[in-house]
Amino acid sequence: MVKSKRLKSFTCKQPQLRVDKYKCLHESLINGDVDAARLGKRIILPITFNGGPRYMMNNCKDAFAICKYAGYPSYFITMTYVCTIEFQKRGLLHAHILLFMSNEFKPKTPDDIDKHITAEIPDENERSNLHGTVQNYMVHGPCGPYNKNSPCMKNGSCSKFYPKEFRQRTLIDEAGFSKYRHTDNGQTVKKRGICTRQ
């Protein structure tokens, strides 16, 4: 209801927001709308509207500015069900958090990364709650031959490169990105009736 009232308020205040300088033709061309009959009336949301396109773009620019000043973040964390910042395409509310560590605490080696991050399926008997959480929220798919109509499928294969290959140790590539250790530990999860080890 609160968001609905805010949207109605922005609709009524379009002249005060001085949207005439940047709406209609300019935005239509950017969006690829070349048919004037399809344009209709556009409502421009200000940068202060939480979740709007200008709000999200401003956050993105802020993040780039911080990275330019402080370098690449040490950790990129996604937290679900804690604080709603934006919605994923899958509909899960989540917040993205970038952490910049000082040099003495910055992970520099694969062993440093393995102390904090794991990409393996937890043991169902020893850590049943964590195993259930991974099964419900952290497993991609199914896609590929099990679901050829999955949104991630492009030209007959998964555009997110699943299933990931097994890897005995974490690697850091030339660009500084981590490829996490993912050993074949025998653990599986079931997603929509399909067992997977990814």
The pLDDT tens digits for 6-32 are 777 777 776 666 555 555 555 666 666
Structural domain of residue 186, as residue ranges? Answer: 108-198
2 lies in the same domain as 36: yes
Pair (37, 56) in one structural domain: no
**84 shares a domain with 34:** no
**Six-digit token pair at 12?**
């009524």
Q: Are 190 and 135 in contact (CB under 8 A)?
A: yes
113 with 74, same domain: the answer is no
CA distance 22 to 44: 9
Let me know whether 133 and 81 are in one domain. no
Residues 9 and 75 in one domain: no
Provide the domain count of the chain: 3
| pLDDT single digits (tens) 81-125 | 765 555 555 556 677 788 888 888 888 889 999 998 888 888 888
Same domain, 29 and 71: no
Average pLDDT over residues 47-60: 82
Q: For residue range 148-194, list pLDDT tens digits in order.
A: 888 888 988 888 888 888 889 999 888 878 889 988 888 888 877 77
The answer on 113 and 185 residing in a single domain is yes
The verdict on 70 and 60 lying in the same domain is yes
